[in-house]
Amino acid sequence: MSVADKLGTGSSFRGAPRGRSARGRAKAVAQGDVPAYELLRLHLDEVAPTPLNPRRNFGTDEEMTRFGEELRQAQLAACVAVTRDAYLALWPDHEEQIGSAQHVLVNGERRYRSAAHVGLEALDFVVRDDLASSRERFINHLLKENLDREDFDVIERSRGVQQLVDVCAEKSERGARSRAAEQLGRDRSWVTNQLVLLELPEELQTMLSAGSLPERDGRYLARHLKENPGLDTAALLEHLKLEKAALAMSKEQEKAALEAARQAQTQKTLLSADNKLTGPDSSNSESTSTGAMGQPSSSAALSADNKPKGATGTGAVPKQQRSNGSAPPKITLEEPQQIARDLAQHLGQEQLAEVAQLLLKRVPPH
């Protein structure tokens, strides 16, 4: 059997024979010679779009004209349809909406509308009644084909998800969202986030479709509306405006706090370095450790606990030795003048001022 026989007729296969009779096709399918569906050339007036398509935006007149002219030159992808009988077996209440059409469009409505817009009479179709084996399968295929499209807007997608959840709920309402999520290959939370958008006022849904309201903001407003039922569009948008302003202010405050902390850390580092540089050097330590007669002075004759030499009978510990790994000297309250001298020797000017302020705070008022 030739390739033309397997593919059937259509404008893309000029010169191929006309399609088989129903009996011949059934025999070929049973023998495995051809797939269960073939490429057919159908007149547009033989086909009706399904009312279940969640897509509403098919482009501007200019876009449809351009796409229609491209289809006139070459149709790169076939439309997908089911027969009238297969469709009405699932949705008998749609008989009036599809009219006398012998086929119902499943995928390719933009191609269908663009072709009609420029006056084309026919397009290539694949008729797949296997997609109409159940309502769930039909809606699932209809929605999946659109989910990957960049021009499938947020609300159209939400409507399609709602349709799939509805048909899943016909078997059992319990777990309908989970079954819909499984069929779409998504999480249940994703399905829930799509459905909440349909609870927003119509004006906000229009803004979502147009892209002037981000989907994230739409979900936030839907949650706020659930907590505060009865709010209109103006109140919701005002709440969103105030919330964004508060968030921006909070971020600025956080940024300012981080900058202040960074500056404080830098200043602390500089002060520490400055205190090390301006502290007594080794020559000053030697000069203060001995008096004019070669005897230890009172300011340097401190024992390990800051007592004068005579109090302990031991010599003073020079600052150089204390800074070389020995423990810092202890300060007692026996001689205030000695404490002041010792603090002046080991602290910088700003640290001394801070200690003085702390001491003054502890002096009770008279």
User: In which band, very low, low, confident or very high, does the pLDDT at 105 lie, cut at 50, 70 and 90?
Assistant: very high
Nearest residue to 219 via CA among 196, 190, 252, 248: 196
The answer to whether 3 touches 33, Cβ cutoff 8 Å, is no
Find the Cα–Cα–Cα–Cα dihedral 132, 137, 139, 143, rounded to 10°.
-120
DSSP E strands, the chain? 39-43, 47-49, 79-83, 103-107, 122-127
Task: For residue range 319-336, list pLDDT tens digits in order.
Answer: 444 444 555 556 555 677
Nearest residue to 127 via CA among 74, 75, 79: 79
Nearest residue to 191 via CA among 311, 183, 250: 183
Average pLDDT of the chain, as a whole number: 76
The answer to whether 91 touches 134, Cβ cutoff 8 Å, is no
C-alpha separations of 309 from 39, 117, 178, 304, 324 in Å: 112, 110, 87, 10, 21
Query: Is this model's pTM higher than 0.75 or not?
Result: no
The answer to whether 57 touches 153, Cβ cutoff 8 Å, is yes
The answer to whether 20 touches 28, Cβ cutoff 8 Å, is yes
Ramachandran angles phi, psi of 347, nearest 5° = -120, 155
Task: For residue range 132-182, list pLDDT tens digits in order.
Answer: 999 988 988 888 777 766 567 888 889 889 988 988 888 888 888 998 888
**What amino acid is encoded at 361 in this protein?**
K
The answer to whether 186 touches 178, Cβ cutoff 8 Å, is no
Look at residue 278 in the predicted model and tell me its pLDDT.
58
Nearest residue to 163 via CA among 262, 238, 91: 91
**Percent above pLDDT 70 for the chain:** 70
* Distance in angstroms (rounded) separating the CA atoms of residues 201 and 237: 11
Reduced 3-state DSSP string for 201-268: CHHHHHHHHHCCCCHHHHHHHHHHHHHCCCCCHHHHHHHHHHHHHHHHHHHHHHHHHHHHHHHHHHHH
Task: For residue range 221-271, list pLDDT tens digits in order.
Answer: 999 999 998 899 999 999 999 988 988 888 888 888 888 888 888 887 877
Task: For residue range 346-358, list pLDDT tens digits in order.
Answer: 777 778 888 887 8
Q: Which residues have a Cβ under 8 Å from the Cβ of 278 and sit 6 or more positions away?
A: 348
Nearest residue to 160 via CA among 26, 34, 53, 32: 53
Look at residue 306 in the predicted model and tell me its pLDDT.
47
Average pLDDT over residues 171-197: 88
**What amino acid is encoded at 268 in this protein?**
K
